[in-house]
Amino acid sequence: MAYSMGKIGALLSSGLFFGSMALTGVFAVEKVGDVDSFTSNVVSNGNPNINIVVGSNAASKDVVAAANIAAKVGSLMFKEGSGELGNAKFSVKAYSESDSFNLFGSGVTDSLFAASVNDDYVSLITTALFDSSTDLDATQYTSLEEVSTLLEVTDTDPSNWFANSDDDVSAEFLFARIKPDGANWRVNSDEMAYMTLLFDENTGVPGGLKGTAPGRNIAFLGEEWVVMGMSADADRLTLGKEVYRGTLKEGESYFLNGFEIKLESVIKRGNEYRVTAKILKDGKVVREVSDTTPVNLMSSGVGIRFQKVYEDISQNSGYADVVIVNNVKGMDLGSEVIPNYELYAVLHNGGKLEYTDDFVKGQKRAGFALKYVGDDLKGLKDGKEIKIADYAKLAFDDENSNTKLNMFFKMDLEKDVSISKNQKARVLNTEIILNELKASAKQNVQLNAPVALLDTETSLKNTDKNLILVGGPVVNSLTDELVKKGLVVIDEKSPATLVSLKDAANGKDVLIVAGGNRDKTSEAANALIEMM
């Protein structure tokens, strides 16, 4: 897709209006018009005053930028909060589609179709990658490139506990094996899957596949989770939502959801350190541990992982590097954790991906898969949609043509997330941080969080809210309309720019977030997020 966006300025009736350059954090952005006034009014009485619009043909970076702006506005509101517990609930909604493939007359007999959050992640995959245990070992392979609202975790090792992890990412993948079914198509049982894989983003899949380990952060069904345990005894995967990463000093406590997590002591015996810790409720011990590290302590939905312990230089005090989580959940390998979908660890052995329901020490567990185990899905044709792990969908659309049957992956999903004060959550590729919650009692607030609309879903003439337009005229038709009206001037040398136009859309204000290319547009979006 060509990008020919340029320098942005506002043309007012009295002539050119020149903007100013501002530095917001690490982001430099040119501001034109009263941007500050616009951003100060994005939320009123707990509800958004804006709609966010992205081009229907925009690249994934523009879509993600729009989603991040929506998440920021959403983070200024909360659905339900408790001042006592310091937590809040948010809702995030996402829609995106992969590229499509026309099955009509294609000659497909047994083809595996795939998509991920980034098209580069599926570009090097071949049919030879899949072991027969996955049932994805088709004779043909087709990449449908990216579904931009699948999740990618770009910092899988925030504490730097693992070697050579700086470029590692955890990303989500969708796979479906398609075969003819008379005049229609079919997906057999076992031949469709959701996967989350850990790999070096510069090397990709399969060459860059890494081994997942406790303490790592991974993507799983649209949310970022910490891997807390992979029990070989119980063959169980345990995940938690990160609340705190850092250091605890012996004698210190962390309070979470009404529980006290206390590091009692760090004792050195020879070259070995032993940590003693407790989880308490109302002063009473719920669970405790005394062991060498790394070790976990979990109970009642909260947990802590002690990765390593050490003493200060004077050897008077002990410290532990930890990650503390809530919303702890355990899932047994081989079990149906979602209706019709079984959980498996994904191993990378001998250049192939294979499924296992057995954790064994020394395995290279590249990730996890949810394997479809329901009935064969027959008679797939125009209008059919199949849910994948109750998360994404496989869809069929003939576009009212006798010579088409497009098949593609899509997401149309809303997720609620509950987070504690100072906790960060990444959901559907958007990030929410709860910095502060002030409430003396529990409150319920109606939240109508903004959702990024396509430029085909609204217009300058009929909008009832102020608009944030993400992208220049090449990728966003509403921005293009303002350019053609002479309200905005654009050439190919645009920096990251924010342009505020008063009464430009049905009496409502417009803020354009754009730059000379998709990276500059992302910079402008990040600067806007910092300003709000």
Residue 219 CA from chain centroid, whole number:
7
Bridge partners (DSSP) listed for residue 354? 347
pLDDT bucket at 428, cuts 50 / 70 / 90: low
User: What confidence tens digit (pLDDT) does each residue in 363-382 have?
Assistant: 999 999 999 999 999 999 99
pLDDT bucket at 429, cuts 50 / 70 / 90: low
Tell me which residue of 242, 254, 26 sits closest to 155, measured CA to CA. 242
CB 239 within 8 A of CB 227: yes
Task: Flag whether pLDDT at 3 surpasses 50.
Answer: no
Tell me which residue of 183, 182, 156 sits closest to 170, measured CA to CA. 156
64-78, 99-113, 366-380, 454-468 — which is least confidently predicted? 64-78
Half-sphere exposure of 187 (CA within 13 A, CB side): 27
pLDDT bucket at 508, cuts 50 / 70 / 90: very high
Amino acid identity, position 440: S
Task: Flag whether pLDDT at 10 surpasses 60.
Answer: no
CB 211 within 8 A of CB 414: no
Each as own residue / partner, the long-range contacts of residues 335-340 (CB below 8 Å, 24 or more positions apart, any chain) are 336/373, 337/370, 338/370, 338/389, 338/390, 339/374, 339/390, 340/372, 340/373, 340/374
Tell which wins on pLDDT, 27 or 52.
52
Distance (Å, whole) CA 327 – CA 311: 31
Distance (Å, whole) CA 445 – CA 422: 20
pLDDT of residue 138: 97
CB 169 within 8 A of CB 429: no
Q: What CATH number matches the domain at 241-331, 3.40.1120.10, 3.40.50.11740, 2.60.98.40, 3.90.320.10?
A: 2.60.98.40
Note the CATH number of domain 9-77+447-531. 3.30.379.10
pLDDT bucket at 62, cuts 50 / 70 / 90: confident
Residue 198 CA from chain centroid, whole number:
14
pLDDT bucket at 16, cuts 50 / 70 / 90: very low
| Sequence ranges of the domains in the chain | 9-77+447-531, 97-234+333-411, 241-331
Look up tokens 């909008």; give the residue.
463
What is the phi-psi region of residue 300: left when phi exceeds 0, alpha when psi lies from -120 to 50, beta otherwise?
A: left
